[in-house]
Amino acid sequence: MHARKRVCIVGAGASGSSAAYALSRHPDEFEVTVFDKEAVAGGMATSIDIDAAKYGASYINDGVQGCSPAFANTIRMFKELGFAATEVGMQISFGKGEDFWSNVFPSSLTQQFQDDIKKFGRVLRIIKAFEIMFTFIPVRIMLRLFRFSRDFGDKMVYPLVALFFGTGNQTPYIASTILERVFMDPSMRLFEFNDKSLLASIPTMLGFPKLHDVYQTWKTRITEAGNVTFKLGHEVNGVIQRKAAKKGGVIVEYKDPNGELRQDSFDEIILACDADSALKLLGKTATWKEKKVLGSVKYLYDVTITHDDLAYMQKHYETKYKPSLHADPQQDPDSADFAQKNFRPLYYTLQYPQDKSKIEMSFDLTHYQPQFRGEKPAGPVDSSKGASNSAQDPSLAKAGEEARKGAAPDGTAEPPLDRHVFQTIFLDRDCSQDLWTWDEIKPEHRIYEKWWKQQSHRWQHYAKVVPWMMFINGKNHTHFAGAWSVLNMHELAVTSGFAAAYRLGAKYPFQGDEECQRLFVLYLALSHGVRMVKFLSIAVSSAADNLVQASRGSERHSSVSASYHF
């Protein structure tokens, strides 16, 4: 019996957990250790406790809120663990007063930009046709190139992209291809284009189940196989050596919870952490290619303030429907009536009057997260169908029940507006802090404050990082995983972890699921320069089955070939 390959994973977030999950399914092939300096798994996907009696729920998800229904790998992974996301109508409230617009009803601003909106649809198709070229053209240049009005960019395009991709105040400098991806890519699309309102009216989004419980269950499932050990609360200090096993292997130095330095050796390492942390850990062992690629990822520093300051929200955003916000309520009474009854924004943006290309953004977590409407932490899953876990206990949905006195449009009880939990994000500390209004959120209304390091999606990222990842992945017994390698999305983090494990010899966990495989195959080709030949094998096998059926009239016997990578 051959020796198991020893694998070190640095980071227990979405990418590290995904890699560990894929490797855990091969207990005879791999022996895995997962390091993370935090005491719990999850990375940015965290949950924090709040006062259930006051807010109508006992927790919020912090940092990661939800996803598009197109995020097949994330949704499938949750399902495997016995969790499910909850559908929610994606309503936005951008701007204030005459600068307001929404996807719920027409405003004077959307009427003003009718020509620009229609042209925008045509330009998306042009960008798709010449995708490589537009990778190197930032959004601000593209808008000028096609002669869009400046206000259209400032008031509609920039806030939209900034909100859904976390690009913040770097949005004017991101690659134009992101615009095409957000509307047209089947694996990344968040919403559909509408030639009158820019966004198709109220597309479906998914609010995540309790992420703390998801990741705790995920960790438990991974360790059940017996070949994966989590060392949480252990901070990796650096990679001392990266050589073949016969020459000493990959040597990692880490600090245990008592502060003592230790070393361990492995055959391979997956750096499932952000790019600059990976570069720092590699230290003197980093190659010039790794320094060039990883060093080109730019990070920004943002702060989120979770609060219940309704006065602040009403001062800076449109939180309720007003007839004055409607383009023409008399001529369009059905739209006005619908908005009056159903306007419940999840997302808000505010443009700073001093510089309208820069924004802050907010979430109404009570509208977005399902626990505020009495959903259990596991989400809408039936414990009798699939994996069970403690988060599926129906009694957990009762937390905060006495505070849920309002009502959603469907009649579901939820807290009234003055009991809502909001989260406001102040973006790009180094370039925009002088514009921030964070001091206006009253101290007595603040629940939680947290700083974040966010990847910038500047066009340079798609020129200097994304196309070159394949030339550093798999070299020197090292693979890199994380959403930063392409685009800041939980779905890409999950996919990147699966890809790193696949390169080490693990099977893709969702083999045969076409919706999941679509993005995985794209990511594998883009970030690793590897293709999955198994699709050809499956196609040949399927064709053979059809011939057998036709010639013999027998039952169909399906077969799936093993996957290979080059």
Is the per-residue pLDDT at 276 higher than 60? yes
How high is the pLDDT of residue 83?
A: 96
Residue 200 has pLDDT above 80, yes or no: no
361-397 pLDDT tens trace = 899 999 999 999 999 999 998 766 656 788 999 899 9
Total residue length of the chain: 566
For 233-267, strand residue ranges (E) read 235-242, 250-255, 261-266
d(Cα 89, Cα 202) in Å, to the nearest integer?
A: 5
Q: What's the distance, Cα to Cα, between the start and end of the chain in Å?
A: 25
Its pTM stands at 0.88
By the 8 A CB rule, do 274 and 482 touch? yes
Is it the case that residue 11 has pLDDT exceeding 50? yes
Predicted local distance difference test score (pLDDT) of residue 188: 61
- How far apart (Å, rounded) are the C-alpha atoms in residues 554 and 549? 5
Contacts of residue 471, Cβ cutoff 8 Å, sequence gap at least 6: 289, 293, 529
Residues contacting 483, CB < 8 A, separation 6+: 14, 15, 455, 489, 490, 492, 493, 496
pLDDT at residue 539, rounded to an integer: 36
The answer to whether residue 172 scores a pLDDT higher than 80 is no
The mean of the pLDDT values for the chain is: 88
pLDDT for the residue numbered 565: 27
Q: Is the pLDDT of residue 554 over 60?
A: no
Tell me how crowded residue 462 is: count the other CB atoms within 10 A of its CB. Answer: 22
Q: Given pLDDT bands bounded at 50, 70 and 90, which one contains residue 495?
A: very high
Calpha distance 309→295 (Å, rounded): 40
**pLDDT for the residue 140:** 87
pLDDT of residue 271: 98
Mean pLDDT of 320-347: 91
Q: Count CA atoms closer than 13 A to 527's CA, side-chain side.
A: 25
Residues 6+ apart with CB under 8 A from 454: 166, 168, 299, 300, 301, 302, 488
Whose CA is closest to 10, among 215, 220, 214, 231? 231
In whole angstroms, give the CA distance from residue 103 to residue 197: 6
CA distance linking residue 83 with residue 85, whole number of Å = 7
Q: What pLDDT was estimated at residue 285?
A: 97
pLDDT at residue 330 greater than cutoff 50: yes
C-beta separation of 341 from 409 below 8 A = yes
**Integer CA distances (angstroms), 326 to 153, 181, 203, 247, in order:** 21, 30, 20, 71
Provide mean pLDDT across the span 514-541: 77
What topology does CATH give the domain 5-37+233-297+459-528? FAD/NAD(P)-binding domain (3.50.50)
Confidence band (pLDDT; 50, 70, 90) for 118?
Answer: very high
Query: pLDDT class for 264, splitting at 50, 70, 90?
Result: very high
Q: State which H helix or E strand residue 92 sits in.
A: strand 92-94
pLDDT given at position 102: 92
- Taking alpha carbons only, the member of 264, 245, 344 closest to residue 34 is 264
Sign of the torsion formed by the C-alpha atoms of 495, 497, 501 and 503: positive
Kindly list the distances between the CA atom of residue 370 and the CA atoms of 71, 218, 268, 379, 389, in Å, as whole numbers in the listed order. Answer: 18, 21, 40, 8, 18
| pLDDT tens-digit map of 50-109 | 999 999 999 999 988 998 888 999 999 999 999 999 999 989 999 999 999 998 999 999
Domain residue spans of the chain = 5-37+233-297+459-528, 47-209+299-385+394-455, 534-566
**What span, in angstroms and rounded, lies between the C-alpha atoms of 16 and 498?**
9
Instruction: Report which of 448, 132, 440 is spatially closest to residue 305, judged by C-alpha positions.
Output: 448
> Quick one: pLDDT at residue 187?
60
pLDDT at 548 over 90: no
pLDDT at 544: 36
Determine the average pLDDT of the residues in 119-135: 89
**β-pairing verdict for 46-49 and 59-62:** antiparallel
Amino acid identity, residue 460? Q
